[in-house]
Amino acid sequence: FLPLTSLIILICASAGPQIDNDKLYKYSYSAEVGLNRPTGSTRGNAGFRISSDVDIINNDKPGGNHIVLAGKRSRKHNIFQGSSAESILGKVRLEALQRPFMVLWKMGKIRSLYAQKAEPATIKNLKRGVASMLMMQLKSGKMLEVKSDNYNSQLKCLNGKSASETVITLENGIIKSSDVEETHTLSVNAHHKAATKVLSRQSLTLKKIEVGPAEVAGKDAASVVKSLDDKLMSVGVMGEKVKTKCKGCPNLMDTWKAVRSQLELDSLSKAEAPKSFLMLLHSLRKASKSEILTVLRNCSKTVLPQLVDAVTSAQTPSSLAAILEFLDFSKKEGLMLQERFLYACGFASHPTENMLHSLLELSQGKIGSTDIKESTVIIMGALLRKLCLKGACEVPTVVKVKEMLLAGPDSTQVESEIQMYLLALKNALLPEGVPVLAKYAESEVGAFSTIAITALQRYNPELITPEVKKMLNRIYHQNQRIYEKNVRAAAADVIMSSSPSYMEVKNLLLSIGHLPHEMNKYMLSKVQDILRFEMPACKLVRQVMKDMVSHNYDRFSKTGSSSAFSGFMARTADVTCTYNLDILYSGSGTLRRSNMNIYGQSNNALLHGLQVTIEAQGLESLIAATPDEGEEDLESFAGMSALLFDVQLRPVTFFKGYSDLMSKMFSMSGDPINVVKGLILLTDHSQVIPLQSGLRANAEFQGGLAIDISGGMEISLWYRESKTSVNNRGALVVIGNVTVDTDFVSAGVEVGFETEATLDFITTVQFSEYPFLVCMQMDKTTFPFRYKMVSKQEKLPSGQTFFSKKSRDQLVPGSEFPLHQENSNMCKKVFEQAVHAVWFP
């Protein structure tokens, strides 16, 4: 125990529980806070306990205080060992603690608290905590409580629970004892073992009653307070924020020098990259604009893109101002940095109107690159959606951008600009955007139709009106004109995922057998996948299939290479991760569309983590084949589009036009084209938890992701073979910490996990004969998973520190994800022919 000083409470009582006149009530009081994992023993808590003798009177009288550890610890690891009251509190806080304070106690509620305004916030909060022990509910009913201050990322990545219990024992109207216990837990949805728990306890126990001084009378509480001490004033019952100064903490430049080597390009696939990214982020959020600009202007070219990711992800007014001043969008140079800035804005965890306004001004100014102009508008759509989800859909800038995007497609005749606005609407998901997208879904330009229809698929099915469904059915069944296969396939996908009617499903099934050859196989695979994976439409499909006209051998025995398949990537107690692969070919064997989706579901929240689509057209001339109906005049084209964490990114083009195709045919190196590379702030949760004891727990959970998605397409006329690849590499780090910092002692606990993974999707097509051979491979490599069970820390301003750490490492074996048996058989033939081509040329 460390003896401190007196803590005296003066009470001005009114109606409700009474303090007898001329009596001195001597209580013992303790307040304890402990930090640990939810399953950890209280003996192992990081934290501390404050003990005190408390006198409740109408005049002054001294008591005594103590501070001890919350958990059991040896003398060697006891940071309070050998410390004095003054060395812990400091002279100013010690004197403040000695001063008496008053409360207005009425009907069991603390109506007001009086103390000297200049007292440190920590001391006033502790006094509020003692006073709170007198709070009681005299009648049944609701009671308003103070909620914690917090901000969350758009992703629902955390689960929080709080509980509080107060037990008060009265004897003859006098409080004999009052005991409070409250707990607050925070856990990461993706890995529930990465969790923290705050345990706060208070106890007030009556020891004895003695004769006290005479009662001080007055016309009201204020006059009583003034007659006793004219320096006392009402300071409110709400806890105050405590600003703590970090002695010896590194500044931004020091932090940057410490982490920059881990942010080099060749380190991005390692967990050290996102870990360093999060460390840098903390420093950036405390830095000024000038400090940030100094780091940006003195950064090497190889690390600068990663620094731009971090500065933008900091999302402070200073960081946004600094990065906008640093980047010059009027020049074509620096395109990579400009796009990294825009993508980081798109992934913003708590976007502001100011960020959207900055992009709006940027789009209306001079931009040197058309690609950057397109990315700017597309990302504005993503920010628009996030702000609307935050309830800011009616702020001026959001309204202006909304009007701009809705009018955009009709405001230009330039195809690339129309696509830009449609992609922005795909990000925005505005209910008002449904009619605009429905209009362009029936466009004669296939690219417009595909974007519009895939955008509609992202909407809540409730917004897909009967009129929109009629439009989708017109497209699929070609009631008014002929459409490209990938457009019709996209329309079918939306119909089946938007609460289809019995007749809609029946007509889709009846169409199988009357479609182009490969589309027959695609639709058949789609129906089978719905049944096998038990998608929402499966019950209705089974009902329709009871009709033998819809379900018969002729219809369900169609052959081909196109396919649709869904499966599980991971199933744990915390999260379910699924994937689906849809591949549509032309009748000649060339790729028409390859679509890979990855979804994560946890706590009833669904996240569209990744979508990578490769589209190609007009390749029949390469192999002297006949195009399918409606696709005779299509320009040669191949490109790739990605949607990452519900944000559509700007598509990239492999080639466009026959001359571009032929030039790249002879210059193809086989190297993939980058779609997105960078550092993303995936989880961003900050929360202040005010405890009844007057202490405040600060919780921060952040997740950083280093990601590299690339894709490629190779065509060999010599071997009559094509190969498309999608390569995904990433490293994820999630760190959660909770600290209680009183400015005279601090305690903290940290949990988290990290991993590195690679996922490759490769499709090989051999079209030397018909039916052509198609082999799909989806592989994940063996990867490490490191789980930081818990690390704990306690620290005094004088330097005494306690630290402990527990962690666990494991290797998750790699695997090839299973696809349908037909694919396995095809792959065997492809590999056999590949061996034959090598040994018998």
3-state secondary structure of 101: strand
111-114, long-range: CB < 8 A, 24+ apart: 111/237, 112/221, 112/234, 112/236, 112/237, 113/234, 113/235, 113/236, 113/237, 114/225, 114/232, 114/233, 114/234, 114/235
Q: Is it the case that residue 9 has pLDDT exceeding 60? A: no
CA dist., res. 538 & res. 625, Å (int): 37
90 alpha-carbon distance from chain centroid = 41
Question: How confident is the model at residue 104, as a pLDDT?
Answer: 82
Q: Is it the case that residue 442 has pLDDT exceeding 70? A: yes
Residue 423 — very low, low, confident or very high, per pLDDT cuts 50/70/90?
A: very high
- More confident site: 722 or 127: 127
Residue 664 — very low, low, confident or very high, per pLDDT cuts 50/70/90?
A: low
Question: How confident is the model at residue 3, as a pLDDT?
Answer: 37
Q: Which two tokens stand for residue 642?
A: 């990605």
- More confident site: 177 or 841: 177
pLDDT digits (tens, 9 = 90+) for 346-366: 999 999 999 999 999 999 999
CA dist., res. 355 & res. 651, Å (int): 23
Question: How confident is the model at residue 14, as a pLDDT?
Answer: 53
Q: Is it the case that residue 60 has pLDDT exceeding 70? A: no
Question: What's the chain's average pLDDT?
Answer: 85
Residue 63 — very low, low, confident or very high, per pLDDT cuts 50/70/90?
A: very low
* Residue 283: CB atoms within 10 Å: 23
pLDDT digits (tens, 9 = 90+) for 12-42: 555 556 667 778 888 888 999 999 999 877 7
Question: How confident is the model at residue 324, as a pLDDT?
Answer: 97
Residue 831 — very low, low, confident or very high, per pLDDT cuts 50/70/90?
A: confident
Question: How confident is the model at residue 741, as a pLDDT?
Answer: 87
- pTM score, two decimals? 0.88
CA dist., res. 657 & res. 86, Å (int): 80
pLDDT digits (tens, 9 = 90+) for 432-441: 999 999 999 9
Question: How confident is the model at residue 61, as a pLDDT?
Answer: 34
Strand pairing class (101-106; 7-13): parallel
Strand pairing class (23-36; 7-13): unpaired
Quick one: CA torsion of 125, 127, 132, 134, rounded to 10 degrees?
-170
Of 514-523, 660-669, 790-799, which one has max mean pLDDT? 514-523
Contact present, 13 and 105 (Cβ < 8 Å): yes
Contact present, 631 and 586 (Cβ < 8 Å): yes
3-state secondary structure of 317: helix
Question: How confident is the model at residue 659, as a pLDDT?
Answer: 78
Question: How confident is the model at residue 193, as a pLDDT?
Answer: 87
Question: How confident is the model at residue 58, as a pLDDT?
Answer: 56
pLDDT digits (tens, 9 = 90+) for 257-273: 999 999 998 888 899 99
- More confident site: 614 or 496: 496
SS (H, E, C) 492-517: HHHHHHCCCCHHHHHHHHHHCCCCCH
CA dist., res. 635 & res. 612, Å (int): 22
Q: Is it the case that residue 840 has pLDDT exceeding 80? A: no
- More confident site: 833 or 533: 533
Q: How far is CA 730 from CA 271, 580, 597, 678, 709, in A?
A: 9, 20, 16, 10, 9
Question: How confident is the model at residue 186, as a pLDDT?
Answer: 92
CA dist., res. 384 & res. 405, Å (int): 10
- More confident site: 662 or 323: 323
Residue appearing with tokens 């396919």? 563
Q: Is it the case that residue 145 has pLDDT exceeding 70? A: no
What does DSSP assign to residue 82? T
How many Cα atoms within 13 Å fall on the side-chain side of residue 576?
A: 8
Q: Is it the case that residue 789 has pLDDT exceeding 70? A: yes
Q: Is it the case that residue 835 has pLDDT exceeding 70? A: no
Q: Angle at the Cα of 377 (from 372 to 378), degrees rounded to 5?
A: 95
Question: How confident is the model at residue 414, as a pLDDT?
Answer: 95
Instruction: Summarize the confidence of residues 534-540 as an average pLDDT.
Output: 94
Q: Is it the case that residue 801 has pLDDT exceeding 90? A: no
Question: How confident is the model at residue 69, as a pLDDT?
Answer: 44
Question: How confident is the model at residue 149, as a pLDDT?
Answer: 47
DSSP 349-408: SS--HHHHHHHHHHHHS--S-HHHHHHHHHHHHHHHHHHHHTT-TTSHHHHHHHHHHHHG
Q: Is it the case that residue 256 has pLDDT exceeding 70? A: yes
Q: Which two tokens stand for residue 591?
A: 């790729």
pLDDT digits (tens, 9 = 90+) for 556-581: 888 888 889 999 888 888 888 999 99
CA dist., res. 458 & res. 473, Å (int): 18
Whether omega for the bond prior to residue 771 falls within 30 degrees of 0, making it cis, is yes
Instruction: Summarize the confidence of residues 215-235 as an average pLDDT.
Output: 80
Q: How far is CA 400 from CA 234, 330, 346, 357, 522, in A?
A: 46, 23, 18, 9, 42
Instruction: Summarize the confidence of residues 111-122 as an average pLDDT.
Output: 88
Range in 1-15, 221-235, 631-645 with the lowest mean pLDDT: 1-15
Q: Which two tokens stand for residue 490?
A: 């996209």
Of 94-98, 124-128, 352-356, which one has max mean pLDDT? 352-356
CA dist., res. 389 & res. 383, Å (int): 10
Question: How confident is the model at residue 6, as a pLDDT?
Answer: 45
* Residue 141: CB atoms within 10 Å: 6
Question: How confident is the model at residue 99, as a pLDDT?
Answer: 80
- More confident site: 529 or 571: 529
Question: How confident is the model at residue 143, as a pLDDT?
Answer: 52
CA dist., res. 614 & res. 639, Å (int): 6
Supply the angle between the helices 502-511 and 485-497 in degrees, to the nearest 10: 150
Instruction: Summarize the confidence of residues 174-184 as an average pLDDT.
Output: 92
Q: How far apart are the first and last CA of the chain?
A: 87
Instruction: Summarize the confidence of residues 598-613 as an average pLDDT.
Output: 86
Q: Is it the case that residue 173 has pLDDT exceeding 60? A: yes
Residue 697 — very low, low, confident or very high, per pLDDT cuts 50/70/90?
A: very high
pLDDT digits (tens, 9 = 90+) for 277-311: 999 999 999 999 999 999 999 999 999 999 999 99
Question: How confident is the model at residue 75, as a pLDDT?
Answer: 57
- Non-local (6+) Cβ contacts of 3 within 8 A are 64, 65, 66, 85
Q: Is it the case that residue 667 has pLDDT exceeding 60? A: no
CA dist., res. 56 & res. 58, Å (int): 7
Instruction: Summarize the confidence of residues 159-185 as an average pLDDT.
Output: 90
Number of H helices, E strands in the chain: 23, 26
* Residue 465: CB atoms within 10 Å: 13
Question: How confident is the model at residue 205, as a pLDDT?
Answer: 93
CA dist., res. 100 & res. 110, Å (int): 16
Question: How confident is the model at residue 307, as a pLDDT?
Answer: 97
Question: How confident is the model at residue 267, as a pLDDT?
Answer: 86
- More confident site: 3 or 613: 613
